[in-house]
Structure 1
């Protein structure tokens, strides 16, 4: 089993100029560069963009709904990498309400898990086909107050990796923590990101 080495790529204007950041987390088998390309479809020209790179191109080895022990220590290491990146951005003077986090598939799962464990007033969460991690959810892990943070969460029905039931559970947890959630389920949609999802995500930046 593996842990992750710190490897983050960034693009856009310097953080000292923008004061606003978007972290994008790639999916299984993908790369930091590939998820950064998603920013070309979002109104984030005035944001500094960050994308962490998973060791072996995967944040954890098995399904996000596998028994958690099977995904350790990679999962905890991945959460630590994301936490370190968030803290480094905040340490540079960015307010949490000017910090956005997003991801696709495995990256959306990791993003949702991190955010729910560290709920605060974020700018927004973009969760493209993902949900909270674990065979069963451990409610006591999810702490803080999203304080009205807008959240977009999507999936296909059916999706080969993310069941609608877990998306529904994730929505319930996040709403209990004070998020304002927009949920979209797309019948028969393949495991991808549709233009409509990008249009909805763009609204979070307005």
Structure 2
């Protein structure tokens, strides 16, 4: 299973007022996703990127039944719990905690925050959706209290159907999140400049 291995950048947790947890995609690594900090105004944040064992958070598509991705998915959730606990223990309020993920990391970002809904600083999902063959809302609880959430994706995307993005956005809205979803025609499996600008406007203005 996963063990907590975190690559850190930005300010040390002990000195920061805000933190961002950045979650890499399948086949990628913590150092790679940390490079996203260059495009966002998070220089004064503690920047934390956990590393998945064998560079993947769970073995199969996020669209298979959840039990097929166990016990890896639960282990990934546990790692994020530990990182969040580190942030909170350092005195950073959850309303100053942000999450960012790409692809598999975006799916994990949305799944984690839906299971642990709270007033966060923001949730950024570049190409992702809630996890499972069918979305089981009984896994989710809490109140986002108008946390800004951005979900951007391509149509088509080889891994993430636009229909799942929109279904996920609807569920998050029902949990009192302020969701912005944008589907980009033919963008490809990448992060666009428009997505970066949307996130800056929504969460860091």
Same fold (TM > 0.5): yes
Name the structure 1 match of 2:136: 138
Aligned length: 204
**Any runs of at least 4 consecutive aligned residues in structure 1 with deviations exceeding 2 A, and if so which?**
none
Distance apart, 1:92 and its partner CA: 1.1
Name the structure 2 match of 1:20: 18
Distance apart, 1:15 and its partner CA: 2.0
Distance apart, 1:17 and its partner CA: 2.0
Q: Among residues 160, 163, 173, which one is paired with 2:161 in the alignment?
A: 163
Name the structure 2 match of 1:110: 108
Distance apart, 1:46 and its partner CA: 1.1
Name the structure 2 match of 1:83: 81
What SS class does the counterpart of residue 142 from structure 2 fall into?
A: coil
Name the structure 1 match of 2:127: 129
Distance apart, 1:69 and its partner CA: 1.8
Name the structure 2 match of 1:185: 183
What SS class does the counterpart of residue 17 from structure 1 fall into?
A: coil
Distance apart, 1:89 and its partner CA: 0.6
Q: TM-score, normalised by structure 2?
A: 0.98
Q: TM-score, normalised by structure 1?
A: 0.97
Distance apart, 1:16 and its partner CA: 2.4
Q: Give deviations 1:28-85, integer Å, cap 9, x for gaps.
A: 0000000000110101111110000000000000000012221111111001101110
Q: Distance in 2 between matches of 1:14 and 1:51?
A: 13
Name the structure 2 match of 1:41: 39
What SS class does the counterpart of residue 14 from structure 2 fall into?
A: helix
Q: Among residues 67, 70, 89, which one is paired with 2:68 in the alignment?
A: 70
Q: Distance in 1 between matches of 2:158 and 2:193?
A: 20
Unaligned stretches of 5+ residues in structure 1:
none
Unaligned stretches of 5+ residues in structure 2:
none
Q: Give deviations 1:182-201, integer Å, cap 9, x for gaps.
A: 11100011100001111111
Q: Distance in 1 between matches of 2:79 and 2:101?
A: 15
Root-mean-square deviation over aligned CA pairs: 0.8
Q: Distance in 2 between matches of 1:130 and 1:43?
A: 23
Q: Distance in 1 between matches of 2:25 and 2:32?
A: 9
What SS class does the counterpart of residue 15 from structure 2 fall into?
A: helix
